[in-house]
Amino acid sequence: MIECSTIRDGEEQLSAKLNHYLKPKVLIVDEVGYLPLEAWGARQFFRLVSQCYGRDRSF
């Protein structure tokens, strides 16, 4: 997921990619921390998690 996005993506592209992961009722996140994330990738992952939480979803 994080590898599909890059810093060069514009905000619209990034939002569209994140929205793709917000569509399912259940989002399973596995192997977080298996590979190191750069600061930018960690911020985008946090953004996704916080948007899921904001939509009354928890995991």
Q: Where are the domains of the chain?
A: 35-59
- Over 80: is that where the pLDDT of 7 sits? no
Cα(43)–Cα(24) distance, rounded to whole angstroms? 21
Contact call for residues 19 and 44 (beta carbons, < 8 A):
no
Whole-Å CA distances, 31 to 1, 26, 28, 37, 50: 12, 16, 10, 12, 18
- N- to C-terminal Cα distance for the chain? 17
Mean pLDDT of 23-48: 82
Mean pLDDT (the chain) is 75
**Closest alpha carbon to 20 in 31, 36, 7, 4:** 4
